Amino acid sequence: MVIATIKEIKNNENRVALTPYGVKELVAAGFEVIVQETAGIGSGFSDSEYKQCGAKMMRNPEDIVKVADILVKVKEPLPEEYNLLEQFKGKILFTYLHLSGVDKRLSKVLATNNITAIAYETVEDVSGKLPLLAPMSEVAGVLAVQYGGEYLQRKYGGRGITLGKISGIPSARVVVVGGGYVGATAAKTAAGMGSRVKLFDISEKKCAELNKEIKEYLGPVLGENFEAIVPQGENFNDALKDANLLIGAVLVAGTKAPCVVSEEQIKSMKDGSVIVDVSIDQGGCIWGSRATSHSQPVFEIYNKVYCCIPNMPGQVSRQSTIALTTATLPYLKRIAAEGVEKMLRDSVDGDGRFARGLNAYKGFITYESVAKDLGMMDNYKSVKELI
């Protein structure tokens, strides 16, 4: 079994799918590992480190995919990489895919080339949580606040508003939409800096849990800065009108994110407000959002600053790469050792969780909400139908 990883080409994507330690573990388990030359440089891992851990280094990604059985990546293949998938027919791709949030061409290429595509973001554990999405979501939650603070300062010329209380300058009012990993981390970060934070989630149970958890985390003084509430009546509209920073963190696993903030609500916000839509990987949850990049991170609508970078953790690449490999490595070992069909069969017959990670298989889209979002239900079959 040959496991390979290649250099990411997305704008300023500095992460890599395997650390040297991950390579060492896979080689020790009896697998051949190929790493594209310079793939780890952006995360601070040299080619010599990979070689010392047993990796075979190759220069050309076309040559790599021809001999690899499993290709492990960080981000979804870009159009410039579709030719690689055509040379990877019938093999296994393990990466973040976010198919509902990207052009349907990728789904078609995966299906046409009979690629077994396993998406990090839809793999579930026995409790139904998303263990391969969680580490990057927590990083993104912190970065969302950092980006928000940066663009608030730029918009206000470095004066008038800040995320914390500094020299009498009023602290920002922050609205977070969504109480998952991203939203909870963003709320902790912003409130911990002194901002006044309101987090909205449609689940009363989730709000109660977050009020307890985050207030205990922040302590009695900073805890007063935070409140988790269910949107009812005008409470959401009023919070948006008062907000300096809006963070979109809505996630419905595998499905295009619902738009939960309308154009009229954006218009009602203060001029100079900053909007960070972390849900952009799945299409965005705020009206007006469109994907930006690290090199061109923002745009403005109605004098509101939008920041919608789909690969935020790429900016803190070393710690993100380490966290990602730590989470994915146990799954990668099992896929290589047991074979994906056995894992799928055991999963469907048992708790059904790993099978939720499968997005394309045997020429079909296997995640129903992806097929619906992309208008590809004629090319959908469930995992149970295919194994």
Sheet holding 173-177, edge to edge: 226-229, 196-200, 173-177, 245-248, 274-277, 304-307, 298-301
Say whether domain 134-310 belongs to CATH 3.40.50.720. yes
> Which residue is it, tokens 């922040």?
218
Per domain, the residue ranges of the chain are 2-130+316-386, 134-310
Decide: 215 and 184 in contact? Cβ < 8 Å: no
**Mean pLDDT in order along the chain per 10 residues (387 residues):** 97 96 98 98 98 98 97 97 96 96 92 97 90 94 94 66 53 93 96 94 97 95 94 94 96 91 97 96 96 95 96 93 96 94 80 86 95 95 91
The SS3 assignment for 382 reads coil
Joined tokens for residue 32: 């051949």
Q: Which residues are catalytic?
A: 98, 281
**What is the pLDDT, as a whole number, of residue 348?**
72
Q: What is the pLDDT of residue 170?
A: 58
**2-130+316-386 CATH, one of 3.20.20.70, 3.90.600.10, 1.10.10.60, 3.40.50.720:** 3.40.50.720
**pLDDT number for residue 46:** 98
pLDDT of residue 212: 97
pLDDT value for 24 = 98
User: CA–CA distance from 254 to each of 6, 63, 276, 316 (Å)?
Assistant: 24, 31, 21, 25
Domains 2-130+316-386 and 134-310 share a fold: yes
Instruction: Summarize pLDDT for 91-126 with one digit per residue, the tens.
Output: 999 999 999 988 899 999 999 999 999 999 999 988
Tens digit of each residue's pLDDT (9 = 90 or more) over 73-92? 999 999 999 999 999 999 99
Exposure string over 292-318, b if 16+ CB within 10 A, otherwise e: bebeebbeeeeebbbbbbbbbbbbbbb
What is residue 233's predicted lDDT score, i.e. its pLDDT? 79
Quote the pLDDT of residue 167.
Answer: 38
